[in-house]
Structure 1
Amino acid sequence: MPKTIVVSGYKPYEIGVFDQKNPGIHYIKQALKKQFIQLLDEGLEWVIISGQLGVELWAAEVVFDLQLEGYESLQLAVITPFLNQEEKWKDVHKEWYESVLAGADYIDSITKKPYENPNQFRLKNQFFVEKSDGLLLLFDPEKDGSPKYLYETAKRYQEHISYDIRLITFYDLQLIVEEEQLKQDF
């Protein structure tokens, strides 16, 4: 029963999302919420993200919504791979990120320095897997993308330690879309 879960997934551009008005975001958030509620029933206390754009920040927004819906004990940690990760982002993305940080229960960085090299991302993946009970990943092994590296780290870790890996695939998202459409038809 995972008390602490890392949540990650594709960056917006990897799934064709180029603005916050994209209707697909609603379905991604619905899939995350469904998983979170199931995990809360199993004892979930903390959601950990690295604060990257896309699935991670949408997950943070879902955590905030759930807190307002009565799950006050659910907490959000934003643990970045390095300092000032948002430094080169567009202003609109920085504002979104800062709004998530403002609502987070815990904020820290793994390496206490700015970006130096890709090894900082490998360190983040290893840290996340070792400091959590499970991983919830919007990732389809059929579609390559940045979540692949965290997924592979978690799979290797799982070979030695009991570790919960849950995927939200494109098929899962399609089922959510169909469920929502059925609700609208009635």
Structure 2
Amino acid sequence: MAKVAIISGYKPYEIGIFKNNDPAVVYIKKALKNNLLALLENGLEWVLISGQLGTELWAAEVVFDLQLEGYADLQLAVITPFLDQEESWNEVNKEWYESILAQADFIDSVSHKRYENPSQFRLKNQFFLEKSNALLMFYDPEKEGSPKYLYETARSHQEQGEYDIRLIDFYELQLLVEEEQMNQNDDVEN
């Protein structure tokens, strides 16, 4: 039973998305929502993100939507790898991040220092895996990117015991797009 799920995945620039109103974001969020609904059926209570741009903040928006749709008990924790991770981001991204933090149920950092070295990301990954039962990730092993490290660490963690890893890949997104287009065509014909 997955009570705590990490959600992570690609950063926007890794998949060619440069604006939050990109049509692809709608499908990514729909895939996240479909998977979250399945996890909610299995007892999900908390979603855990580190607050990275892209998949993680889109997931936070999906959590907020679900809370409004009747899943008021679902909670969001934003636990950053280090303090002030957003300091080099542009103003638009900082505002987006701040709006997510303002609605989160829990906020903290694994390291209570500013960025020092990449080991802080490894510590964050380890901490997240120890505190969760499941990982929902927008990641396709065929197209490597920054999620690769969390994915590989989660696979090792899974070998130690029961741990649920769910991937949203590009094939799943393509199916969602095609399904949506078919539904729109049906609506036009009716």
Match of 2:135 in 1: 135
Partner of 2:32: 32
Tell me whether 1:162 sits opposite 2:166 in the alignment.
no
1:159 is paired with a residue of what secondary structure? Answer: helix
TM-score, with length taken from structure 1 = 0.99
Alignment coverage as a number of residue pairs = 186
Partner of 2:146: 146
> Is 2:105 aligned against 1:105?
yes
Q: Deviations over 1:57-91 (max 9, x none)?
A: 00000000000011101000000000000011000
Aligned to 2:57: 57
| One-letter amino acid of the structure 2 residue matched with residue 60 of structure 1 | A
- Equivalent-residue separation in structure 2 for 1:182 and 1:7 (angstroms): 29
User: Deviation at 1:21?
Assistant: 1.6
Taking the TM superposition and a 5 Å limit, the aligned residue runs for 1:70-81 are 70-81=70-81
Residue 173 of structure 1 and its aligned partner are, at CA, apart by: 0.4
- Deviating beyond 6 angstroms after TM superposition, the runs of 4 or more aligned structure 1 residues are none
Tell me how far 1:152 sits from its aligned partner: 0.3
Q: TM-score scaled by structure 2?
A: 0.97
Task: Report the AA paired with residue 7 of structure 1.
Answer: I
Q: In the alignment, is residue 45 of structure 1 matched against residue 56 of structure 2?
A: no
Aligned to 1:21: 21
- 1:173 corresponding residue in structure 2: 173
Rounded to whole Å, the distance in 2 between the matches of 1:21 and 1:49 is: 21
State the secondary structure of the residue aligned to 2:127.
Answer: helix
* Alpha-carbon separation, structure 1, partners of 2:34 and 2:162: 23
Give 3-state SS (helix, strand or coil) of 2:112's partner.
coil
**Residue 182 (structure 1) shift:** 1.1
Q: Distance in 1 between matches of 2:37 and 2:44?
A: 9
Secondary structure of the residue that 2:27 maps to in structure 1?
A: helix
